[in-house]
């Protein structure tokens, strides 16, 4: 039985003070969660978030990292910097990073390896555009993204990686893949991982991340392949985020 994981991706929202206030609202609502709960906050929010999260059951995540340990990379953040601040999870390869900031399958793979080397749990994003889905062949594209991200990893390491299936056409648009569409896509990703790493694919947690919210989370979480959610807009509203956490917790036997 894979333990579900609900991770909030705050994106470029919340000042440190606002973030700490939101965490204080979330903490009592998810204190009894049976799933893993994570908030992935902007870099400048990390110290305030770490302080607010102290003693709680909520993990701290970042939204990116650089694959080099240090050097002349102005504006970048290293794994060691994040680790010293108490970060445990890091989002890698989000479609916004790929689309706006030229992330590639190669850089995603390097970042996954750097995250694992630092002891983080990587949350690796994959997903197709609307044009790719409508043109056909999206299955091979998404499977290829997953395989590229995991290239060169050991079987034991792969089981620690979380993949988030985020169809680009459903991120921030209000559109959501149907429960069946999301489950099918995640099954395809798991099959691709199995081709590379065998039984480790059954241990890997794969989330859905395309506009999961308080209204649709129960149906999505009821699917047999879906192990949680990477939550955008709903993560900025404590009651909505708590509802999603409760739906994930309800699937734990």
Q: Which of 94, 96, 103, 128 is catalytic?
A: 94
Query: Is 66 an annotated catalytic residue?
Result: no
Q: Which of 76, 106, 166, 203 is catalytic?
A: 166
Query: Could you give the CA distance from residue 238 to residue 221 in angstroms, rounded to a whole number?
Result: 19
Contact yes or no for 187/232 (Cβ under 8 A): no
CA 29 to chain centre: 21
Residue 199 has a CB neighbour count (10 Å cut-off) of 9
Residues recorded for the chain: 253
Contact yes or no for 180/218 (Cβ under 8 A): no
Q: Which of 237, 239, 241 is nearest to 229 (CA)?
A: 241
Query: Structure tokens of 6?
Result: 């609900």
Tell the residue number behind the tokens 């999870």, with chain if given: 89
Catalytic residue IDs? 94, 166
């Amino acid at each position: 039985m894979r333990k579900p994981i609900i991770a909030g991706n705050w994106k470029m929202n919340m000042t440190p003070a606002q973030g700490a206030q939101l965490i204080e609202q979330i903490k009592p609502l998810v204190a009894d969660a049976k799933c893993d709960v994570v908030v992935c906050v902007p870099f400048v929010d990390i110290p305030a978030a770490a302080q607010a999260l102290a003693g709680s059951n909520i993990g701290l995540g970042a939204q990116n990292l650089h694959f080099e340990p240090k050097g002349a990379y102005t504006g970048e953040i290293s794994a060691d910097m994040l680790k010293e601040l108490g970060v445990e999870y890091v989002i890698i390869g989000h479609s916004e990073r790929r689309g706006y900031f030229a992330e590639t399958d190669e850089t995603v793979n390097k970042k996954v390896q750097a995250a694992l080397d630092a002891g983080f749990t990587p949350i690796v994003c994959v997903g197709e555009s609307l044009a790719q889905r409508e043109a056909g062949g999206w299955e091979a594209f998404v499977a290829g993204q997953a395989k590229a991200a995991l290239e060169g990893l050991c079987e034991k390491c792969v089981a620690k990686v979380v993949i988030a299936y985020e169809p680009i056409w459903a991120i921030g648009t209000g559109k959501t893949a149907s429960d069946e569409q999301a489950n099918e896509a995640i099954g395809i990703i798991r099959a691709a991982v199995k081709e590379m790493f065998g039984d480790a694919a059954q241990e890997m947690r794969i989330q859905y991340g395309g506009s999961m919210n308080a209204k649709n989370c129960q149906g999505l979480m009821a699917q047999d392949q879906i192990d949680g959610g990477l939550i955008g807009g709903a993560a900025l509203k404590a009651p909505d985020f708590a509802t999603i956490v409760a739906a994930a917790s309800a699937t734990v036997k």
